[in-house]
Structure 1
Amino acid sequence: MIQPPSDPYRDWLRARLSAELGVSEAEQVIQGAVQRRGWTAMRALGPRDVVAALQDVYSRMRDEYGDARADRWLEGTTLDLARFAETVPVPAQPTEGPIAPAPGPVRWGRRAHDLPLLLARSHAEIAGRSLAAIRANPELRALERAAEWDVQATQAEVRRWETEEMLSRLRADHARIEVADQVAAAAAQAQLLDLNVRELSGALRSGQAVGPRLAHTQLMASQTRAFLDAFTPLIDLGDADTPLTMLDVDLANARFSLGVPLHPNVLRARQALNYAQWHAGETAETSPAVAQARQALRVAEEEARGQLDTTLQAARSHQAALRDLKTQVETLERRATQLAQLGGDPVSLARVRLEWRQARTAARVQAHRLEEALKLLDALVSEGDTTSTPAP
């Protein structure tokens, strides 16, 4: 296996940590991060790996120096890392073998959304083989930098489609639980309506003018029962009692700034710029093709920054709404417990339980949308595996 010739991100991390901890301690931190995560000792580090090591140091600094200093250090260091990632590609591990081997036939009957991931993986494999060929040919060594950006861009594209696959499964799990929540809320509503019908029927027999109210309540009760008859067999009501996921994440974390230089479109535009510069040679500074590639890179960065900001803003909105709804759910839980202990009337208790179910359903939706947004953000900036789906 061909080894990458350099490890610039490890060197950057070592220099940065040495200034804070000393050379010996910095090396121990890096080795500890490598060992804890099961990385191979000789693997070249990338920006996502550096983020993981920085998080280790951040946790220790919080204990030793307090949150304020640790936060300032992490923010400044992560922003510097994002700037470094804009100019230095990850030293790619070439793929051995011919540059473009004949692919095997694609099996018919695959789901349509599998095909982009297959294509992305094929492009990544070919890019790795091309890099190996470029490094082996002295006449092509000037193309090595562009080829490294190409490998990084194709790998980011694989990660994009793996993330899409993971999010698809996650959303399916979320939809199943959200439907169960709605059915549980409908069951609570049916119980309240039945009690209201019984109460209004008694009032009507005693001569009160409640006929229209009774007819309307009976209609709502019949519609709710029809809904329950249709949907109860399709779901597991136990899913509605799944605990709410409360994701307390610092959405102001500077590590999300890595989402721009590591965005697949930005990496692809940077590869195109490097290729244009190689092709132009000594005339790169005046070449129209190079100028066009630079403009395309700026556009890609602006679009990536816009997508990142939109996702972050959505996550913050979901997080704020979830906190408010969680407080509402807890208040209703306490009120229902108090009513039950004090022997409250059945209608009041049923009404509180319905409000609790409705608030819980709304909180679940916010928790799910927040989790999906965080998974999308983490796919851009973390070293974690995006293909795994957490338990709901």
Structure 2
Amino acid sequence: MANRLIHASALLWALLSLAPRPAHAESWLSDRMDVFGKVSVESRIFPESGIHPGQRSHASGLSLETTAYIEGDGSGSFTITPFLRFDAGDPERTHADLREAYFLTYGDAGDGEWELRLGIDRVFWGVAEARSLVDIINQTDLVEHPNAKSKLGQPMAHFTLSGGWGALELFGLTGHRKRTFPGEHGRFRGRPVVDNSRATYESADEEWHVDLAGRYSNSFGPLDIGLSVFEGTSREPAFAPVFVDQAPPLVVLAPHYEQIRQYGLDAQITTGPVLLKLEAIRRTGGQNRMMQEEDYTASILGGEYIINGPWDTNSDLSLFAEWLRDNRGRNATDALANSVFLGARLGLNDEHGTDFFLGVLDSREADSRVFNAEFNRRLSDSLSLHVESIAHIGFETDETVRDTSRDSFIGISLEYNF
């Protein structure tokens, strides 16, 4: 229900933004509203045929994300960001979402400040490059990209109190969002197909369960630290096979969202060109890959080294190294939860904002790894180019990731900003 309401709202806003407005409304809005966004045209080519029947070797589509910021009277504002995606290869990837739709108000609190956001918003926690273990407020929009970094908007009340002592954030969350999954013709999927219409919840309140979260953050010299806690409906589902009564018989996977508690720590120490990073969580209440309840601890420990002006140029080169650990071992729900990540990002600092990225995530428990290469460049003030390649190596010998062993791809997208 929550997903359908948000999808409908995103479509309605997109239609209203195209409708003509009365002259007096146009004048009022022009003084108080700022509208900006981006349109992206994307194409992906998969060199190998899919491991599952019906999977396509080429996917193309477009996306639209626009933000309207409306300044209110006094200390208040309203922000709305609808997102629309059309994909010609996988109907499940075609979707709409409200990334943001919240009212913001703020004021003074003694020597500090307070801020309140009511509505739909996105919140990010984390410092690591390869994964974001502590980032739990928003649901993953998995059909957008296999790196799981795109997030769905989450209904919330978000209160922040800040001062010289740090910042305290408190969250009340409801309207749980179901994770998006590729459909029968999509890539990056397992077997059987996930059927979101059959999702179940441990809580009797289902998606309307009220989740609670909090985070304290502060800086102590070179150290930036965040301590967080979350209690409520997990963003990561377990799966149960369901037999569909039809001819021929069909088996699908039904997501099941459990009640969990997660404690998180994220920290970064900055000393000149060296950044030391740590993310760690302790989670109770969830199931492992074998569908057995198991409490666990996971962490990412690593660093970043920044070289300014390498090879006597104006460029910046960042080198990354991270160690990922999950004490569930092969029973972890993320097949690459126990891995080593190495990467490098080169920014040319030219007028076109050109940058390159190379990275590899190498499993320490299986002979499988993921290579990632990216290239970004502005073609004009409004138009930019993004080229990406992801290669799955050794996946065919690892049963936990074999279903995506042929899903290496080359992608290209053109993005117009307005």
Asked which structure has the greater RCO (Cα within 8 Å, sep 6+), the reply is 1
For the pair shown, the structure with the greater C-alpha radius of gyration is 1
Q: TM-score, with normalisation over the residues of structure 2? A: 0.22
Between structures 1 and 2, the one with greater helix share: 1
Q: TM-score, with normalisation over the residues of structure 1? A: 0.23
